[in-house]
């Protein structure tokens, strides 16, 4: 029987072991930890984004990525639309390029079209990172190109480092604004074995998220030159993004930011371990074939409804939550789900992980 989202969440809360993501504290526990952190650091509220905590965090993140300035933004949707709109305005050209799996195309309800931000041209193979040859093949000049690092909708794939460097150089030569969807750039740093500054070098603007890998309550940041960020603040205000208090979201991110980044290498090494374990289950197919970051898609030889039903039954009978949600894949009788290797899988005993995979495999055959 298919469960409603509320029923699914209730079932999830009965489990004791979770293979994906970070531990999610109860609101009371999370708010108590935030209150203690505020007391320890003598935090005062901001007023419309003006305040020591917000400015210090913006500068901390900007410095970490080698950018001049940053502005905390309530959503990544607003941050990215603003960045690309400004890039177009600065070049008097409303065309940009997006990979077919871009969040802007798949999850933002055509905001860029309906709000008249810019015109988007699709670029590259839907199942692979795009290349400089894809960019050169465009018949018309563009103002900006977006690159997501890593590319979530294709399993967290990263372009080869040399290929990314070529793209950076080409965009600079052609005066194309190169924008990074860096919602998971913290994970990309471990995949590349490079610093965040090295990755961000050559990008004109970067968006980062604080509720995904960092595990905060929400919020994002847009980074770039000081003049670019000054313009971005104006446009965020125009779009209703200048909220009265940003303090709660910044506290939630700042209090665990350094700890999460320090743990990223361990998440990646646990992912490498998981890939080795998956070799014992030949009918489970990971994408990418080798780990690029601490996330992946796992393909199963059953339909999505069947996989979700198996997940629910194992949750009820064993208290193990296998994955968030399986969706149908291109081939009939095949589905996939996303695994994010976070603190839960990192701390889970190896035998528990093997038991979970055994239960999943046995339920399908």
**Tens of pLDDT, residue by residue, the chain (365 residues):** 689 999 999 999 999 999 999 999 999 999 999 999 999 999 999 999 999 999 999 999 999 999 999 999 999 999 999 999 999 999 999 999 999 999 999 999 999 988 999 999 999 999 999 999 999 999 999 999 999 999 999 999 999 999 999 999 999 999 999 999 999 999 999 999 999 999 999 999 999 999 999 999 999 999 999 999 999 999 999 999 999 999 999 999 999 999 999 999 999 999 999 999 999 999 999 999 999 999 999 999 999 999 999 999 999 999 999 999 999 999 999 999 999 999 999 999 999 999 999 999 999 87
* CA-to-CA dists, residue 302 to 64, 78, 127, 194, angstroms: 43, 37, 21, 38
Q: Which of 67, 66, 65, 51 is nearest to 251 (CA)?
A: 51
**Does the domain made of 46-244 have the CATH classification 3.40.50.2300?**
no
Residue 90: phi and psi, rounded to 5, are: -70, -15
Determine the Cα–Cα distance for residues 75 and 246; give it in Å rounded to an integer. Answer: 12
Look-up of token digits 């374990």: 277
Per-residue model confidence (pLDDT) at position 2? 83
5-25+259-364, CATH topology level: 3.90.1150
Cα–Cα distance for residue pair 86/238, rounded to 1 Å = 13
E strands, the chain, are 17-18, 69-73, 95-98, 119-122, 144-148, 177-182, 205-209, 220-224, 285-287, 295-300, 320-321, 327-328, 335-340
226 burial class (0-12, 13-18, 19+ CB within 10 angstroms)?
exposed
149 neighbors 178 (Cβ within 8 angstroms) = no
Q: Hunting for tokens 């210090």 — which residue is that? A: 56
Count of CB atoms within 10 A of residue 235's CB?
A: 17
Helices 304-318 and 350-364 pack at an angle, to 10 degrees, of 130
User: Are the CB atoms for 194 and 161 separated by under 8 Å?
Assistant: yes
Strands 144-148 and 177-182: parallel
The pTM for the full model equals: 0.96
The confidence score (pLDDT) of residue 355 equals 97
Alpha helices in 101-219 (DSSP H): 103-107, 111-114, 132-136, 161-173, 185-192, 196-200
Sequence-ordered list of residues with C-beta below 8 angstroms from that of 124, at least 6 positions apart, any chain = 99, 100, 130, 131, 134
**Where exactly are the structural domains of the chain?**
5-25+259-364, 46-244
Q: How far apart are CA 291 and CA 157, in angstroms?
A: 8
């Amino acid at each position: 029987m298919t469960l409603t989202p509320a029923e699914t969440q209730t079932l999830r809360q009965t489990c004791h072991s979770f293979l994906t993501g970070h531990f999610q504290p109860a609101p009371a526990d999370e708010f108590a930890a935030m209150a203690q952190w505020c007391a320890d650091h003598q935090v005062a509220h901001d007023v419309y984004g003006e305040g020591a905590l917000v400015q210090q965090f913006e500068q901390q993140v900007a410095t970490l990525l080698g950018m001049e300035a940053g502005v905390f933004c309530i959503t990544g949707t607003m941050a990215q639309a603003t960045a690309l709109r400004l890039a177009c305005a600065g070049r008097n050209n409303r065309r940009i390029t997006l990979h077919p799996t871009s969040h802007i195309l798949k999850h933002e309800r055509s905001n860029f079209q309906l709000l008249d931000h810019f015109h988007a041209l699709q670029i590259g193979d839907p199942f692979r990172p795009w290349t400089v040859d894809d960019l050169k093949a465009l018949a018309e000049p563009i103002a900006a190109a977006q690159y997501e690092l890593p590319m979530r909708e294709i399993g967290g794939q990263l372009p080869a480092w040399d290929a990314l460097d070529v793209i950076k150089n080409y965009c600079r030569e052609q005066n194309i604004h190169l924008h990074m969807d860096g919602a998971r750039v913290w994970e990309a740093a471990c995949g590349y074995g490079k610093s965040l500054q090295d990755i961000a070098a050559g990008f004109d603007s970067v968006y980062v998220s604080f509720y995904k890998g960092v595990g905060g309550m929400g919020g994002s940041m847009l980074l770039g030159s000081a003049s670019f960020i000054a313009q971005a603040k104006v446009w965020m205000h125009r779009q209703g993004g200048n909220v009265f208090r940003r303090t709660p979201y910044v506290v939630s991110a700042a209090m665990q930011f350094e700890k999460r980044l320090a743990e990223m290498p361990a998440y990646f090494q646990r992912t490498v371990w998981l890939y080795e374990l998956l070799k014992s289950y030949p009918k489970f197919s990971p994408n990418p074939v080798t780990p690029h970051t601490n996330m992946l898609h796992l393909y199963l030889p059953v339909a999505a409804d069947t996989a979700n039903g198996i997940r629910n039954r194992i949750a009820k009978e064993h208290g193990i939550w296998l994955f968030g949600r399986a969706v149908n894949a291109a081939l009939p009788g095949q589905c996939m789900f996303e695994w994010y290797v976070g603190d839960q899988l990192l701390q889970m005993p190896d035998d528990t992980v093997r038991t979970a995979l055994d239960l999943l495999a046995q339920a399908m055959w």
